[in-house]
Amino acid sequence: MKKTDRVLITGAAGFIGYYLAKRLLSQGIYVTGIDNMNDYYDVRLKEERLSLLLSHTGFTFEKADISDGKTLGQIFQKSRPDIVVNLAAQAGVRYSITHPDAYISSNMVGFYQVLEACRHASDEGGHRVSHLLYASSSSVYGANKKVPYSTADQADHPVSLYAATKKSNELLAYAYSKLYGIPATGLRFFTVYGPLGRPDMAYFSFTQKMVKQETISLFNYGDMYRDFTYVEDIVTGIVNVMGKAPAPDADGVCHKLYNIGNSSPESLLSFVETLEKCLMKEGVIQEPAKKEFLPMQPGDVYQTYADVSDLERDFGFKPKTPLEEGLAKFAHWYGDFYGREKERR
């Protein structure tokens, strides 16, 4: 990637978007961030991330919804991005069972509008987008039994609407690459965690329950495996991929998919024990959590396990942060952030 490249990130006040923007800004790259600041989870976290980004002179923020095509087009005309990274989405597997509308609006209509904005960016002397990256998810592997999950495997048995929208994004991006020559890369993320993370994710909600001394529920009786990936590793992967738009495939289409995950699944139970240890060390909790063991929930998958050999081959990169190190950073941040919150009250 060139220092002069201008980058547009959707979902910039989100967890991964914030870390990506921060990394690029620290390298002197100009970033425009879009976010609608919705209240799917505690908006104070989004505001905190945003205020950290706004302290950089190279950062411009646009509060907008990606499903609003007209506004999106205007932002593209103004910011003239070389590279677009679409991270805005309605995330979460379980929420998609009760709130399907949010997924259709942000993940389907919103993603379509991002594709349209890329397609029309160069109209009337405008600026061409040279690479579109977009977030997909390990959830597209759905009920697949074969592990590790490879992008060469079929992934057309989603077990949630969230997964179905992410798989649809991959198909839409492929079609836009083929029809309009937009080079695009889809990144299938595997359970990303870290400081300033998402409260709807297990490691965060477990922590909140542990602090309140409430019982935590381990589904499938704790017998589930996740390929937890530290957020800074994900960002390194995204930045590497940003610098190299895909070459045309055998059909002349510049579209590629990669898994980004640790490639080392942890059992839910050992994950919780590591989290407890880190939180106790930071003084966030004083004793291990009370646990209840429950059956599998609809939409959940038994195991996620990334085959990242393509990423390693094409970019010489593989996530590497051990869970213990990443969770220690999360526990440290949590104690600090919520300690400060308590003082403010």
Ligand X SMILES: NC(=O)c1ccc[n+]([C@@H]2O[C@H](COP(=O)([O-])OP(=O)(O)OC[C@H]3O[C@@H](n4cnc5c(N)ncnc54)[C@H](O)[C@@H]3O)[C@@H](O)[C@H]2O)c1
Residues that bind ligand X (CB under 6 A): 10-11, 13-17, 34-38, 46, 65-67, 87-91, 106, 110, 135, 137, 189, 191-192, 198
Cα 4 from Cα 189, distance rounded (Å): 27
Q: Which is nearer to ligand X, 68 or 280 (CB)?
A: 68
Tokens 């998609």 locate to 96
Residue 37 · residue 13 · CB < 8 Å: yes
Cα 98 from Cα 230, distance rounded (Å): 28
**Of the listed 30, 162, 305, 334, which one is catalytic?**
162
Q: Which is nearer to ligand X, 19 or 30 (CB)?
A: 19
Q: Which is nearer to ligand X, 92 or 335 (CB)?
A: 92
Least distance to ligand X, CB of residue 209, Å? 19
CB-based contacts of 31: which residues, under 8 Å, 6+ apart? 6, 7, 8, 9, 12, 21, 24, 25, 53, 56, 58, 59, 60
Give the CB-nearest residue to ligand X.
14
The DSSP-derived string for 10-55 is ETTTSHHHHHHHHHHHHTT-EEEEEE----SS-HHHHHHHHHHHHT
Q: Which is nearer to ligand X, 177 or 262 (CB)?
A: 262
Least distance to ligand X, CB of residue 182, Å? 18
73, HSE (Cβ side, Cα atoms, 13 Å): 11
Least distance to ligand X, CB of residue 11, Å? 3
Least distance to ligand X, CB of residue 155, Å? 14
Which of 222, 231, 203 is closest to 292 using CA atoms?
Answer: 222
Cα 83 from Cα 100, distance rounded (Å): 30
193 annotated active-site: no
Q: Which is nearer to ligand X, 106 or 262 (CB)?
A: 106
Least distance to ligand X, CB of residue 4, Å? 26
**93: three-class secondary structure by DSSP:** coil
Catalytic residues: 162
